[in-house]
Structure 1
Amino acid sequence: MGYDGSRFGIGGLFLKTMLLSVVTLGIYNFWGRTQIRRAIWGAVSVDGEPFEYTGTGKELFFGFLKAIALLIGLALALLVIGYVLGRLLQFRAVLSVAVVAFYLVVSVLAVAAVYLATRYRLSRTLWRSIRFGLDGTAGRFVMGTIGYSLLTLVTLGICLPLLRTWQTRTIVNNARYGTVPFRMEAQGAKLIWPWVLTMLLAVPTLGIMLVWYRVREFRYWSSTVSIAGLKFEGRLRLGQVLGPAILLAVITVAIFAALLVPTMFAAMEAARTHAPPPPSALTIIGIWLYVALAPAINFVVLGHPVLKAGCETMAIGGALDLEAVAQSSDAGPRTGEGLFALLDGGGL
């Protein structure tokens, strides 16, 4: 695989999207996100042939409107049910229960939206004019995620690799290139002990073990993926990720320290002298600006080098018989990512 994207060119698209989204009250975000995807997809190639992203901002925007309508309808329905039951049962806490139920339902919808968003993105991804696709159901993905999440909770996080590997394997095994399916055979149990080691050493190593684990996880996952005779093998190394990850962490800590430390000292001085607390508007604005700029900073510092290293170290063995690949009749969903676009902030 190859990657020839421009670090600051694509980073500039993130910055442009942020600025125009502020001016347009968030509306431009959907068109800006589409531009970013087209740039990144087009920078990644296999056998010299780049990928192509055909989604549109309009599709993402209408998916977002559907999500808003769904959430408003859900909230109103639960409030009405809560109010009626509260009057009938004379139970004042029913409205509180309705609010909790709303958040639980939204959490379930968010998990389903991850699957549906992946379906949309794959359906808008082409290679050699053949589009990808995702079969299966979001319902099964949700039920499996709930089950493995409860197992992870009961085991105090030890079984997290089972959850993450099951989710990834489910998506990959339902994905296809045209009519040819992908296959992934990864087993989360093989990552349990590396994850336990990571949990024990994450704090003493200042998070370095978390980076080590993610690299190991990626290499193991990719080595179990195949499609029609092609075998993938990720050869990404820790050193290729660790430097950018540390740099991003240092930048983040430095920015927040510069924003918060003066405010903390001013608040301490105000408490000592019994003076009114200093205004914190500048600190709030500074944090907001950093959060708005975070997608551009993250891509320039971490996303670009990791994407480049991941593509250039991905080995693909075998040969794909393109004559056996046919265009699927399933063109994917008509609108974009819905709830996922609502929850995803400035991501891809």
Structure 2
Amino acid sequence: MTDLSTPFPMGAMPEAATSDTAPTDGEGVRAAFDGETPGISSIAFAGGLYTVLTLGLYRFWYATDLRRQLWHRSSLGGTPFEYVGTVREIFVGFLVMLTLLAPIYALFYLSEIYPDDEIGQWAGLGFLVSIFFFSGFATYRARRYRLSRTLWRGVRFGQTGSAVVYALRNFGWLILSVVTLGLAVPFWRASQERMRINNSWYGDRRFASTAAGLVMLPRFLVYLLPVLGPLAVAIANVFLTHPYEFLAAQVRFMSMGGQPDPSLVHAFQGVVWTILWACVGAFLLWPFYRTGELRRFIGRVRLGETRFRSDITAWAVYKSHIAFAFTVCLSGAIGGLLMAALLSNRYGRVDTHDTRTLVLTIVGYALAYWLFGALRLVMLTAPVWGKLVGSVTVEGIGHLDTVAARRDRSSATGDDYAGGYDVGAL
């Protein structure tokens, strides 16, 4: 079988930065990332365009080229990392993913066909449970694949452990988090982090993690209170200002298609707005919590006598998010005005039945998808990756000179079920 990995030339691989070479073990060696963007930009814009033109088929080459660039630009002790995965492996993994997802989506279609029947309701529940289980299973397998295709100093990383156990643990922690109104989330994340790290290897040496959820609980509360606090106040206001019997009667009345009592409209509007804020706030404030979590989790990782620490800050990540958001909004405004001008006739109206309108809408959507993906990679994914890599200091790097390669075989197929573009799991 011929190699499918390089049908389109995407530019030569850059030399990794070597500014991280000098310090002794006592001082620690800082990882480095070559932040120059020419190679990444060419992959982002050319690869994204090929992906759109091939209706997604090129995504396997796109992901492979992208990982090779990001891995090679990341270095430790002057030695770059290597990504040795192939397009064929990811493509086979994609086919396996489709096979695994087929019965899951059969449940979804049953729930859509019989929405009012018991079989449809059970199918809908089965779909939600299955898709959540599969997400945990796929995430663990994807991380295993990426680690098994990552080398440093010619020695391969690896991951053991069961993806099924990881997914089942996710279920247990989800139930506990719901029961505790979210307070178990830091413990959930720390527990899964320990499983991932304690099953990770560099050659014949095993990583170890002592990540603790209790340490992250205060920061999580600082994150959670602004997100859910307004919602809790709005819901409490509804119950404190209206009798329970009245609210129960209103719920039954609205379930039959009736309109709520006018005295409840304002209170319900407050609940709706706070729900919207909870969704938006959870997204906006997540980098604040996540960067703190990364610092503490990385600081709890050991590889024999080798230790790690990170000084990444939330502001460093927010700067990339703000620049990306501003660029996308500006590009969207310009693109929207241009589309409006192209679609409008001489009377300023848009004929939705015109073939020209349909064609321009499809082309505009494809261009927007391509531009958004390319900008996201160049302005968000790669910079945040670089800031995380550059924030890590390794103490006792000399102890890694005695690491030997493991002799067990890695998977011959790509287990990358969690998505071709995701590179953040490492």
User: What is the TM-score normalised by the length of structure 2?
Assistant: 0.68
Equivalence for 1:293: 371
Deviating more after overlay: 304-313 vs 56-65: 304-313
Contact 1:230 1:317 in 2 (8 A): yes
Equivalence for 1:47: 77
Equivalence for 2:406: 328
Deviation per residue, 1:290-347 (Å, 9 max, x gap): 3443332122222333222222221111134345322112232111135323xx6x43
Q: Does 1:158 align with 2:167?
A: no
Contact 2:144 2:159 in 1 (8 A): yes
Secondary structure of the residue aligned to 2:158 is strand
Trace 1:100-115 onto structure 2 (pairs within 5 A).
Answer: 100-115=125-140
Equivalence for 1:56: 86
Equivalence for 1:133: 158
The CA distance in 1 between the partners of 2:131 and 2:167, in whole Å, is 12
The CA distance in 2 between the partners of 1:208 and 1:63, in whole Å, is 33
1:309 to 356, 370, 387: 387
Based on CA coordinates, which of the two structures has the bigger radius of gyration?
Answer: 2
The runs of 5 or more residues in structure 2 that have no matched partner are 1-30, 228-276, 341-348
Taking a change above 3 Å as real, the CA distance of residues 156 and 255 of structure 1, as seen in their structure-2 partners, is: farther
Deviating more after overlay: 65-74 vs 125-134: 65-74
Superposed CA RMSD in Å reads 3.3
Trace 1:164-175 onto structure 2 (pairs within 5 A).
Answer: 164-175=189-200
Taking a change above 3 Å as real, the CA distance of residues 188 and 254 of structure 1, as seen in their structure-2 partners, is: farther
Contact 1:109 1:339 in 2 (8 A): no
The CA distance in 2 between the partners of 1:110 and 1:294, in whole Å, is 25
Q: Does 1:119 align with 2:144?
A: yes
User: What is the TM-score normalised by the length of structure 1?
Assistant: 0.81
The CA distance in 2 between the partners of 1:35 and 1:126, in whole Å, is 16
- The one-letter amino acid of 1:221's match is F
Deviation per residue, 1:210-246 (Å, 9 max, x gap): 3322221111111111101111110113332222122
Contact 2:83 2:151 in 1 (8 A): yes
Q: Does 1:25 align with 2:101?
A: no
Deviation per residue, 1:120-146 (Å, 9 max, x gap): 110000111110000111122111111
**Once the 2 structures are TM-superposed, how far is the Cα of residue 68 of structure 1 from its aligned partner?**
1.3
1:178 to 203, 213, 216: 203
Contact 1:231 1:316 in 2 (8 A): yes
The CA distance in 1 between the partners of 2:125 and 2:284, in whole Å, is 37
Q: What is the percentage of aligned positions where both structures have the same residue?
A: 30
- The one-letter amino acid of 1:309's match is K
Taking a change above 3 Å as real, the CA distance of residues 147 and 289 of structure 1, as seen in their structure-2 partners, is: farther
Q: Does 1:148 align with 2:173?
A: yes
The runs of 5 or more residues in structure 1 that have no matched partner are 265-274
**Once the 2 structures are TM-superposed, how far is the Cα of residue 165 of structure 1 from its aligned partner?**
2.2
Q: Does 1:67 align with 2:97?
A: yes
Equivalence for 1:250: 326
- The one-letter amino acid of 1:290's match is A
Contact 1:219 1:234 in 2 (8 A): yes
Taking a change above 3 Å as real, the CA distance of residues 196 and 286 of structure 1, as seen in their structure-2 partners, is: farther
